[in-house]
Amino acid sequence: MRPFQKMWWTAPATGQWSASVFAALACAFIVAPGAHAQDAAKILKAMSDYVTAQKSISISFDSDIEVVTSDLQKIQFTSSGQVLLNRPDKIRVTRTGGYADVELVFDGKTVTLLGKNVNAFAQADAPGTVDQLIDGIRDQYNVSMPGADLLLSRVYDELTTDVLDAKHIGQGVIDGVDCEHLAFRGPDVDWQLWVETGARPIPHKYVITSKHVTGAPQYTLRVKEWKTDAPAGADAFVFKPPADAKKVEFAALTDVDEVPAGQVAGGKK
């Protein structure tokens, strides 16, 4: 699991697995032996298989990010957004909060990040898949997409990397939906996942705790709506710049973060 990738974005996550790969990955849970770890791996694998099988996904979400101030006060900042994903190479994500209004558009060739609140956008050539986009913009432009690992074609592998302990806590109810509650521990972060029970094992809530940051701040992603095989129009992934919008370099695209300037973003990795 890559802690850095587990945020929706800071300048605003699935494939087939053989039985042998699943068996090898399941061994990662040996630190927490017994039925709880086995159940956690089984539920997470079922979620991964279901999500990765969907060619088109439409999601609406709320997110909370905690910061810890210099005097150790915890403050949360909340945003809402939407995701439209067409595998393997198209995605549009919006995030609106109290301090920024951001949109990311990727058509398989070009990635665009628009700061609506500053009427400016940055673009770059990025031919490839959504998986490659997430890795590329993180490494090259320091743009992270928290929760994006839930959308990756390698989601099971990504989530279980560096897992030291896994537990099936039990059941929970998110927005009236019965869910299985999973908890995982890693060297840098702990994380929890609530997965819908039954034939549609989609994620409903995702909580990431930064253990080695003072105050252990958390990032929370709550899925409000998840539609699979959602149709998308031909222009859904076409970027149309607003009137008078200024084109800038990625490094110059400021004031598009979930947290306003001057705050200590302890929940970010």
For residue 9, being part of any structural domain is answered with yes
Question: Is 134 inside a domain boundary?
Answer: yes
0.85 surpassed by pTM: no
Is 66 inside a domain boundary? yes
Q: Report the pLDDT value the prediction gives residue 264, as an integer from 0 to 100.
A: 55
Question: Considering the domain boundaries, does residue 206 fall inside one?
Answer: yes
CA nearest to 106, candidates 134, 80, 142, 82: 134
**Positions in the chain short of pLDDT 70:** 1-35, 141-146, 262-269
Range of the domain at 195: 3-231
* Interatomic CA distance for residues 55 and 64, integer angstroms: 28
At residue 60's C-alpha, the angle toward residues 153 and 65, to 5°, is 90
Instruction: Return the pLDDT at 188.
Output: 94
Q: 57: which residues sit within 8 A by CB, 6+ positions away? A: 51, 83, 84, 85, 151, 226, 227, 228, 230
Q: Is residue 255 part of a domain?
A: no
pLDDT recorded at residue 18 = 38
Local structure of 220: helix, strand or coil:
strand
- Residue 142: predicted pLDDT: 62
Let me know if residue 240 belongs to a domain: no
What is the CATH number for 132? 2.50.20.10
Quick check: 105 and 120 in contact, CB under 8 A? no
In a domain, 243, yes or no: no
pLDDT value at residue 31: 41
Mean pLDDT estimate for the chain: 84
Hey, is 221 helix, strand or coil?
strand
Token pair 């890693």 is found at: 186
SS3 203: strand
Provide the pLDDT for residue 28. Answer: 43
What's residue 25's pLDDT? 42
What residues does 59 pair with on adjacent strands? 83, 226
Supply the pLDDT for residue 143: 63
Determine the pLDDT at residue 41. Answer: 95
Assigned domain for 111 exists: yes
Which pLDDT score, from 0 to 100, does residue 144 have? Answer: 61
Structure confidence at residue 249 (pLDDT): 93
Q: How many domains does the chain have?
A: 1
Rounded to the nearest 5 degrees, what angle is found at the Cα of 169, between the Cα atoms of 165 and 173?
135
What b/e sequence results for 2-17 when a residue is b if at least 16 CB atoms lie within 10 Å of its CB, and e otherwise?
bbebbbbbbbbbbbeb
